[in-house]
Structure 1
């Protein structure tokens, strides 16, 4: 997902934070490293709002509603696993669907009304469906069952450093940490539940696959001569307005507008100039055209894996529907 600045987080960092990706930091796999030419673009449109903007890779992404259903299903599997070891674990409900328009800030701040009202601050969001209370605090053993035994407790060669990549893989390995006469899975019930839903077999496509393609398309677009040119034009426009900044993703930082000052009078004035300059040079229109072109190229090169991903996504949703019925 886009970071608040509008730029994607590095795939490796997100994978590490989630600690659930099938492989921590992988490349897109099917793409050719030596494919460095700039793809042609045509019919560049004037874009002044990016909320709801559709990218070629969007069709391979889950909707908020689907993500919420998968999260609930995963919770069911975690609770079942914990019960095997004698723990009545009540997993916290996942966040309700945000109902926000996708890609609203994919290129940073572009909406004039938002800039005039909030500056660089995030507009308030509805809390959605209230979450139930967090699950009761687990003791040391319960935590080991939930998250997996650490190196101190893993005696059979298993450790949190070598987590299984599929449920089939998990079934063939032991952690050496036994609770109630049963070996706790490497990675615990959380990992087992994830694998059961997302990677029951070894051929499962990495859940980060599309994200990595997105990150690659963005990286290539930012290095593209056409994007560099429009970024330079935007920077020149900002300079004329009295603001020294060279990157639309770091305007508030460049101008020293941080934290609580993001919706100050100074921030609002800068945000309005930022949006005005993006509109003047058609920054969003050119970024969209170029980035979409790179995504289409990556889709062509990754067609086989993406087709498999679509099939596996349908299977996961069917399984999730069964678990949450």
Structure 2
């Protein structure tokens, strides 16, 4: 897949993939006794679409739509705060622009038709990130005074007006919460990273990776697991080669033959269910905080901040 410009937000699944790699490398040294800690799984499903990739922690995570709405509402409320100081702040972009399926690349490619055309190039994601990068590049740069007041840095007052603790951004964020206690929003992602790492090192996933690898060898390709194929540096190009699409098509067919995606999903669900049981109180607080902010953000956006 080709290098993509950085948009406004880092990729959650990118962070998960990096952390998972570390756990996989560590997991290679485990012995059979470690398998006792592997949770029981439900019947392994056969996955045909990314819409079927539903996981327990999804119920507590902030969605892309919510994140965009909250970001835009903070911008609107924060700009109102900035006016008290006679300062400008760049306007919010239109919420919900350039949306893509957030799970589209969770288990690398799974659609054989797309693989035959795009190979490993995440075309929809690349377009979204490029569009967001262009918006960022064209956005006006705030003054240093404005950046201080926005973030609550610098002097404690400006133009005779006291700067709120944490700046106008924090004031706007607090307004969105509507009195609901702030929760650790990073908790969900940390648990997702942990579960993904354990999934990648799980004996049942290692087994289907081996089956996938054997299948790929029969097709003329030598990779230890699907992510090695996905990350092949030969695909880091602006063009999509015939070799790439041939590899990608074989990859998806071998995934289907070994039911790699269904196995990974079943295993990851089991690890996440365990996490929900262990962290239920904290996760419920996160969900309440996210929902409160999202609800207020919806009202702010609907009113245009009036």
Could you state the TM-score of these two structures normalised by the residue count of structure 1? 0.73
Q: Deviations over 1:168-212 (max 9, x none)?
A: xxxxxxxx44321234456543344334435967x4211122122
Matches within 5 A, 1:280-299: 280-299=257-276
Report deviation, 1:132.
11
Alpha-carbon distance change, 51 to 314 in structure 1, aligned in 2, over 3 angstroms:
closer
Q: Deviations over 1:58-82 (max 9, x none)?
A: 2223444333322221111210221
- 1:140 paired residue among 132, 137, 144: 144
Contact 2:69 2:95 in 1 (8 A): no
Alpha-carbon distance change, 219 to 94 in structure 1, aligned in 2, over 3 angstroms:
farther
Q: Verify: 1:323 aligned to 2:300, yes or no.
A: yes
Distance in 1 (alpha carbons) for counterparts of 2:300 and 2:161: 24
Report deviation, 1:247.
3.0
- Greater RCO structure (CA 8 Å; 6+ sep): 2
Report deviation, 1:36.
8.0
Alpha-carbon distance change, 123 to 39 in structure 1, aligned in 2, over 3 angstroms:
same
Q: Verify: 1:225 aligned to 2:203, yes or no.
A: yes
Distance in 1 (alpha carbons) for counterparts of 2:232 and 2:38: 29
Distance in 1 (alpha carbons) for counterparts of 2:288 and 2:124: 37
Higher helix share: 2
Alpha-carbon distance change, 133 to 247 in structure 1, aligned in 2, over 3 angstroms:
closer
Please name the residue that 1:248 is paired with: 226
Which ranges in structure 1 are unaligned for 5 or more consecutive residues? 12-33, 155-175
Matches within 5 A, 1:79-94: 79-94=79-94
Report deviation, 1:118.
0.7
Report deviation, 1:257.
2.4
Q: CA RMSD in A?
A: 3.3
Distance in 2 (alpha carbons) for counterparts of 1:93 and 1:199: 23
Which ranges in structure 2 are unaligned for 5 or more consecutive residues? 1-10, 21-33
Aligned residue pair count: 275
Distance in 1 (alpha carbons) for counterparts of 2:244 and 2:238: 10
Contact 1:53 1:103 in 2 (8 A): yes
